[in-house]
Structure 1
Amino acid sequence: MLPATDADPFSHDVLENPLPLHAKLRDAGPVVHLERYDVYALARYEQVHAALTDWQHFQSAAGVGLANFRFEKPWRPPSLLLEADPPGHDAPRAVLSKILGPRALRKLRAAWFADAEKLVDEVLVDDEFDAVPALAEAFPLRVFPDAVGISKQGRENLLPYGDHLFNSFGPPNDLVARGQAKIGASTEWVTARCAREELAPGGFGAAIWAAADHGDITPAQAPLIVRSLLSAGVDTTVHGLAAVLYALAVNPVQWQRLRDRPGLARVAFDEAVRWESPVQTFFRTTTAELEIGGTVVPDGKKLLMFLGAANRDPRRWDTPGEFDLFRDPSGHVGFGMGLHQCVGQHVARLEAEALLSALAARVRTIEPAGPARRHHNNTLRAWESLPVAIRR
């Protein structure tokens, strides 16, 4: 018999601490029916990984949120990366994969490391500060929009726009209503930044438009691909950086390991993405009647993949609740997996490596300086505030 629950994964209690629900879902079985929304939950690593890598049967084109685009109109034009499947997904993905590839990142590396050192020196004039606005938000908002090629004025629109976007993947609850009043102005600003004339030469955005000129994508696709960079390329990195800063602040032994071996900076970031899973959930939609873990799921049904639960599944990870820099976190699903795996993950890793390297070279100890406060979002696991104290 299919296990079921009336638990609401989008309630504030769960968003504050999803770990108990994750454990219950994993223990209940490979598939659990979420009665409140009539969707099927996947919380074990095996089933989540399988769904992420099988785009033919678990489609993204019907929306990666609760809304089913087979029957409902999206609130904005769907993403050509997140909310598309082949063949429509292929050309945009190929263009971005090349633009965000190793060659481009090698060119950015020295400048981003220098920018991280400058920011850290500015922040460390104080022995106590809030690491979320001072570091986790400030660094991506400095370097990534520059790389895309957008102006500095108005960048404060990026975070509320992304916050509302990821809230919209859940139900129309109070979190969606909270952002609704402001989303018009933020959307207008972001949309305007995607135009060719708004993008500086030599940046990622200009390269996307050049791909349209070359015929690799259409002119109509170009601004939507730039929009994908601006919507998914900031918030997830901000929350990933906050996750690793929190993990290191509450695990002093791991901080010392990083100081002793600065080359572990990327491992630290990936382990934090596994441990905290800044992107907690994504939906897929079945394209046929499917058998999953002994349960038959009808065609056209929404499945909610709990990435955070999969990343702490003891069936896959030893001591999954521990943040451990000696662990190999590769294989985590925090960036997705398969065809729709985050195309900008290497950009996020470079930002994290630059920031953590600058901190490790300057800070002997980092620890909490007061209660941390969560920011609730229907999709993201985020920190609103992370007070820390450091010694140089």
Structure 2
Amino acid sequence: MPLPPRFDVLDPAVIADPYPVYRELRAGGRLCRVSPASWGVTRHADVAALLRDRRLGNEFPREDPQFQMDANLAGEVFGRIIPTMSVADHSRVHTVMVRAFSPGTARRMRERIGLLTDELLESGLDTGELDAVAGLAFPLALSVVCELIGIPGGARAEIWPRSAALGKAFTPFLPEGDRAEADAALAWLRAYVEDLLDTRRPDPGGDLLARLLHAGGEREEIVDNVVFLCFTGYETTMNMVSTGCAALARQPEEWRRLRDRPELATTAAEEFVRFDAPIQYTARLALEPIEIGDRVIRPGRTVLLLLGCANHDESVFDRPERVDIGRTPNPHVGFGGGVRGCLGAALARVEGGEVFRRLAARFSRLEPAGEPVRLPSALFRAYATIPLAVKP
């Protein structure tokens, strides 16, 4: 039996543009080899099903070579955050956080999101220039999640660079050179959240910090999950907005379509998540044998569900390499799925809809003003800068 194709997650060509490689992987079969103990799942039907399969778990052994983190992070923090904690603990902590990021909460935030978006677009209206990352996507997404958590506005300038560095701490295959920055960011944010908790009292109707205190649980568990939210709570939205702005600038016919039909803002946001999934894969641990095609994944093996690859599956999506802001149906897996799906999915959908609706309403022109610059990452599809020329 021939071996499935090999997928090198850290290949610079993959980091720059994974989609040509994904096409080859899908053509090569339903599985690909990632490492001696890891398999990648390439096709949409398998990824969508396995996202909800209880034979896959998230409680990775501390010595798992995929998570080359600092011993303190792997031994203490990593086991207490929602994506990797035990099922029993996950249910208790997850309930409080899901309510804080529920569709109802997201809808109630709509007006506030719109006001923040308008404020951020003002400079573009005045100057004719807009950096879609630093001037819109990043401050909007982080401001919203900080307000939900209960982090004061004055602290956000210090939170921003550390939350960006924190993302490296939760990235599988962490390069050695990134560990020190990630560890320093983690230590600072943990100390900050510890101090912030001292200013809160348990309150079931308060901000997230007050609700978590009311729900009980170990203090360290609360601290580490709030710190985790300082990154994961905004990262998906930020990257979706960034991708959308870059795509609309590159495809002027889709920008004109959005201008003519601003009601497509909601489906546009979904399409941007499909087109360039903010998180490219999610890791699971096989708890039981799992048969995929003519191969069996053995218990103890790491399984990478390749979300970005599945979202370009030609058997599901017509012309997947093109952005279609009116694409329906759009069964993308960009937000993951199952009990461990993206916590901020509802918030991202509301933010995306508001941002693209207001962009279309306030600007008649949205064009590239220079080459976008990517942030190199094996896991996240993020930009450092997207310079745009805009006109009221």
TM-score normalised according to structure 2 size? 0.88
Q: How does 1:43-82 map to 2 (within 5 A)?
A: 43-54=42-53, 56-62=54-60, 66-67=66-67, 74=74, 76-78=76-78, 79-82=80-83
Aligned residue for 1:80, secondary structure, equals coil
Aligned-residue offset at 1:208: 4.3
Aligned-residue offset at 1:233: 0.8
**Partner residue, 1:258:** 258
The 8 Å contact of residues 274 and 329 in structure 1, kept in 2 or not, is answered as no
Aligned residue for 1:194, secondary structure, equals helix
Amino acid of the structure 2 residue aligned with 1:263: E
Moved more, 189-198 or 318-327: 189-198
Q: How does 1:1-392 map to 2 (within 5 A)?
A: 1-35=1-35, 37-54=36-53, 56-62=54-60, 66-67=66-67, 74=74, 76-78=76-78, 79-151=80-152, 152-166=154-168, 168-173=170-175, 176-177=176-177, 179-195=178-194, 196-197=197-198, 206-215=207-216, 217-328=217-328, 330-392=330-392
Unaligned runs of 5+ in 2: none
Cα pair distance change 1:239/1:73, threshold 3 Å: closer
Cα pair distance change 1:172/1:143, threshold 3 Å: closer
The 8 Å contact of residues 269 and 349 in structure 2, kept in 1 or not, is answered as yes
The 8 Å contact of residues 279 and 308 in structure 1, kept in 2 or not, is answered as yes
Aligned-residue offset at 1:188: 2.4
The 8 Å contact of residues 57 and 287 in structure 2, kept in 1 or not, is answered as yes
Aligned residue for 2:88, secondary structure, equals coil
Cα pair distance change 1:269/1:44, threshold 3 Å: same
Alignment: residue pair count: 385
Aligned-residue offset at 1:172: 3.8
Superposed CA RMSD in Å reads 2.8
Moved more, 6-15 or 338-347: 6-15
The 8 Å contact of residues 193 and 199 in structure 1, kept in 2 or not, is answered as no
The 8 Å contact of residues 165 and 185 in structure 2, kept in 1 or not, is answered as no
Cα pair distance change 1:167/1:23, threshold 3 Å: farther
Q: Give CA deviations for 1:273-312 in whole Å, capped at 9, x if unaligned.
A: 1001110112111112221222111110111221100000
Write the distance in 1 (CA, Å) between the matches of 2:262 and 2:382: 25
Write the distance in 2 (CA, Å) between the matches of 1:108 and 1:357: 16
Moved more, 185-194 or 381-390: 185-194
Amino acid of the structure 1 residue aligned with 2:82: L
Aligned residue for 1:291, secondary structure, equals strand
TM-score normalised according to structure 1 size? 0.88
